[in-house]
Structure 1
Amino acid sequence: MSFSQKPVHVAGIGMIPFTKPGASEPYHVMGARAAKLALEDAGVDYSLVQQAFVGYVYGDSTSGQAAVYGVGLTGIPVINVNNNCSTGSTALFLARQAVASGMIDCAIALGFEQMTPGALKGAYTDRPSPMERFAHAMDAHQGTDPNAPRAAQFFGGAGADYIKKYGVSPDTLGRISVKARQHAARNPLAVFRQELTLEEIMSSPTVYGPLTRYQCCPPTCGAAAAIVCSPEFARKHNLNTDVVIAAQAMTTDTVSTFDSDDMCKVVGYDMTVSAAEQVYEAAGVGPEDIKVVELHDCFTANELITYEGLGLTPEGTAEKFILDGDNTYGGRVVTNPSGGLLSKGHPLGATGLAQCYELVSQLRGNADKRQVEGARFGLQHNLGLGGACVVTLYQKV
């Protein structure tokens, strides 16, 4: 559902360098660091923040408090958020909603994750998995491989369906990783900054279907945060008002996810389409107005189908979009200038706020070697299986 209440400014952003598991500080230290960076960037004292929305996927209850207590003990409400890979943007959605409704004037959205090596796994084996219905849909469509990571089977299956439907070369997916590494080489906060050739990507070990190892995002540790506030609060405290959240929508699954016999829909394509359409309508803009996008490239296959889900290119034309270079600098829209989840990294709870960090930096003109010139709007897409999709449109004012 989208909202178009009073404007909400992103007054401050903070992000720490992403790292491999085992190389990071503890989650609460990372979270406090990112929060302090966002407060410093905004020029706001923590005592003025009225609510905190804190996202993480792997952690005990009230881990959010453990992180923000490292910033201050002010007695404000701390709401812990867990919405799978869309957790960070869900925290931002809630923070923006609280400010837009007029209930409060200033909130912090914070996300962090301290991950372990290897593929994602559920934390509990003594109860039904929230992914059970999705697993049944996948198994009915393509079967289940007990030796392959489950997330790779979902998204690899979507890639295979798309390739079969449109006759796309598997190399096209590999080109997405080439682009991701080229972009990440310009980002000092990315975990993988070494460029790779198409040959290196395609010859890396196969994970599932068309996906090779370098087409899959890595487990990552990190944290990011944003300060959002009302225009009145910004004026009163002389804060940066360069960027406003012009529109935002969150969607969840519908019947089509499970009844379409299409892995693209199982992994959230229809959620993406719906959220994007709501955002465009609320803001009065279209895909043609967007020059920079941070989208959820957990696997190359998801970036491929999301080009179309966001309306950046018509259905069935993603391969041409890539081969023409319309997804990078010099093309029509620069996708994932940060390096995306594939190369910047994917600490689940922090990802949505890291995307916010990148797009706000772009619209402020502070993205250094990654700068996309002339961008007035930045579009963010953050997806979580299970499921939720958040699409956010930032505007330079």
Structure 2
Amino acid sequence: MSGQNAKPEATPGVRQFTVAPDDDGIRLDRWFKRHLPQVGFGMVSRWARTGQVRVDGKRVKPEDRLAAGQVLRVPPGGESDRPKPQRRQLSQDEIDRAEAMLIARTDAALVLNKPPGLSTQGGTKTTQHVDGLLDAYAGDDEPRPRLVHRLDKDTSGVLLVARTPGSAAFFSKRFSGRSAKKIYWALVVGVPDLAEGEIDAPLAKQPGTGGEKMHVDEENGQPARTLYRVLDRAGNRAAWVELQPMTGRTHQLRVHLAAIGHPIVGDGKYGGQDAFLTGTISRKMHLHARRLIIDAPKDSRGGGGKLDVTAELPDHFAASLEQLGFDAGMSDARPVAEPPRERTPQEKKQAARQHARQYRKARRGERRTRGAPKPDKPGKR
């Protein structure tokens, strides 16, 4: 079994396992769910109650936590009638597609560069997605890799996949605890007034869209904060910006940039026709998860520490940077922005009101443009 060292036992059928570093701190019942899912919780409880399952020779309860290096004694039997999950058979084309996305592999994680247009997970009428390709990365005796975060279908870039259940739990805590630093690149229409700042505007599902669209909602929205800085500008036409989400709301970066009047190039959902540049600039979404910095669990050799990975731009984004005269190599050497001090509730409300006013002002300008009378033709009054 992956991550464990089985040892022979004198009693026929009795199994012994050494708790791997990946399982350090896990509850006994959770260990069984990870590694011996065919043994139900009721059987684990019975074995613990009768002393048949032991840790380092001592009796144990289902809720007791294990430590790396401990030896777990498991009696024979206990298998339920639940069928073992079958792996999906992938075509050679799917295997090649999966391998083309892989940019880094460690004991704990796989790091992918997700292309634009590929969903992270399946759904209604979605048959092609990253989750459906994960069997390509696991050997016969290895657990199936697990997604621990997501990217929008049209967003490209760094996607972290956990290789084991233990690393999945470890990484999930880092994402939910906001200690992971995610750096995005985007091309936006126009140039923000401030070269560097923070967008603090609460977000909620927009009514009437079935939850498919978000909007700024001062009263009922969930807190949402985004740090940004302008890396370069093409006159007043467009700007190349670096973004660091401090919260993880749905479509956060897209809504925040549209709310301050600078939608992401190609994001017609939130920017309408104003999100597209004229000329030969691609109409695809220009939002890319460029870099991820996250703590990593210790591996079998005692290593670990930080995982810092960067994903190359998709072709359409790189071509747009070149056409606008931007140097794609100028950003990565700059230090990652640190979040400013935590704002007081009054400051948060004031910032949210300010961004909401900017959003309403931009919308009023759109309405005036649409409702303006057409100019008379030459020679007519």
Q: What TM-score do the two structures reach when normalised by structure 1?
A: 0.24
Greater strand content: 2
Q: Which has the higher helix share?
A: 1
Higher relative CO (Cα under 8 Å, sequence separation at least 6) belongs to: 1
- Higher radius of gyration, 1 or 2: 2
Normalised TM-score (structure 2): 0.25
